[in-house]
Amino acid sequence: QPEELIGRLVVAVVNFPKKQIGPLMSECLVTGFHDATGAVALCVPDKEVPLGTRLL
């Protein structure tokens, strides 16, 4: 759920055009992978980086 991301450091792509995804209007893409059970494992930095740092 979107509220579960509050306060977490995740890898996301911002400045995308708004897009309707289900009942939500999305303005960014949070990155992740499906694990063996189908649950989502979020992409997270392996050490602290400043907010807004560009992904290389």
Whether 32 shows a pLDDT value over 90: the answer reads yes
pLDDT band at 39; cut points 50, 70, 90 = very high
4 three-state secondary structure: helix
The answer to whether the predicted template modeling score (pTM) of the entire model surpasses 0.85 is no
Question: d(Cα 26, Cα 13) in Å, to the nearest integer?
Answer: 11
Question: What residue ranges do the domains of the chain occupy?
Answer: 2-42
Whose tokens are 């290389």? That residue is: 56
